Amino acid sequence: MGIVVESPGLLTTVQDGGRFGSRAIGVSVGGAADTFALRTANALVGNAPGAAALETTMTGASLRFERDALVALCGADHPDARAEDGTPLPGWLPVFVRSGTLLRLGPARRGLRAMLAVAGGIAVPAVLGSRSTHMRAALGGFAGRALQAGDRLPAGPLPAAAAALAARLARTAAPGTALVPSTWGLAPRWRPPYAEQPTLRVMRGREADSFEAASLEALFAAPYRVTPQSDRMGCRLEGGPLRLRAPLEMISEAVAPGAVQVPPDGQPIALLAEAQTTGGYPRIAHIAAVDLPLLAQVRPGGAVRFAEIGLEEAQALYVMRERALRQFTAAAAVRIKSL
């Protein structure tokens, strides 16, 4: 018993916190493109932070629940998300879903990707320690691919506290009500500042000094447009060309999500969750980890700006975000148990 995919939308996959420990054999970490949305959604339904959830892209999906469930939708804004009977599905808070409900997420009005967490997690088999889908390698997730109409996803058993919360929410609703939202969630002021043109904080990359001074100035002076060729592997950007001082022959080296590589055409590529493990293009910058969720939510046609920071500032920002997320996860666990 679980969830039936009636329509997968543009692109919906199973994603979790990532596949760690396999980069040495060429397998990327992958996982959710927006880790903040994943961890928050999981906290709201009582899951472990990296539990498997559904990542939708732009157009959402239509899902039928075969049993009572507790869900949370975080990330991109889906104002038209609702049950078949018209009951709205608000974001960033726990929502009880009655068995038999057809949930339609509808198009995203702001942002690109949403995470739909289900209490108990999406219980597809783990591959190399992760349930995340890596489509290029046909690895993990549901048969190693994007979801299709007719797929039936297994859901794990509800944690006891989540089951109790779902039962309490169900008792507050009129009989037959498809969705019952909780009264608490993550307040807007604590959510990432998603935007159509966010400013991403970056550190200079290993080969930054190999670029012309004018190119380094251009990187921070004007926005770069996100092109339609972008995907979960990386955002292809278009703007002022970035030129090397002299031809540079590189041996492929390790790269990670956040690296900003520059191929010979001078148009940068900002790597995302499914970044390859090695690359041979010079790295002009590296995006601070706390700002990767902002990049993951920029649609094709949107743009990004870059602002330079130092390593110590990037580390401090990361520690602050981790502290805040862990505090929220702990507070959510207490709230779920006390309601």
Cα distance between residue 125 and residue 131, in whole Å: 6
Mean pLDDT rounded to a whole number for the chain: 94
> Amino acid letter at 210?
S
Q: Is the pLDDT of residue 259 over 70?
A: yes
Tens digits of per-residue pLDDT, 129-162?
999 999 999 999 999 999 999 999 999 998 888 8
Distance CA 80, CA 87 (A): 10
Please state, in angstroms and rounded to a whole number, the distance separating the CA atoms of residues 331 and 312.
29
User: What would the pLDDT profile of 199-241 be if each residue is shown by its tens digit?
Assistant: 999 999 999 999 999 999 999 999 999 999 999 999 999 999 9
Each residue of 87-109: pLDDT tens digit?
A: 999 999 999 999 999 999 999 99
pLDDT band at 79 (very low <50, low <70, confident <90, very high): very high
Q: Token pair for residue 9?
A: 């939308």
Residue 75: the pLDDT is 97
Mean pLDDT of 52-71: 95
Domains in the chain, CATH or no CATH each? 2-187 (no CATH), 199-308 (2.40.100.10)
The pLDDT of residue 1 is above 70: no
Q: Residue 173's pLDDT is what?
A: 77
Which range has the worst mean pLDDT, 70-74, 133-137, 235-239, 306-310?
133-137
pLDDT, greater one: 285 or 336? 285
Mean pLDDT score, 7-36: 95
pLDDT of residue 249: 83
pLDDT: which is higher, 300 or 166: 300
SS3 44: helix
pLDDT score at 159: 87
Hey, CA dihedral for 168, 171, 174, 177, is it positive or negative? Answer: positive
Q: How much is the pLDDT for 257?
A: 96
Each as own residue / partner, the long-range contacts of residues 156-160 (CB below 8 Å, 24 or more positions apart, any chain) are 156/120, 156/121, 156/122, 156/123, 157/120, 158/69, 158/70, 158/119, 158/120, 159/46, 159/47, 159/119, 159/120
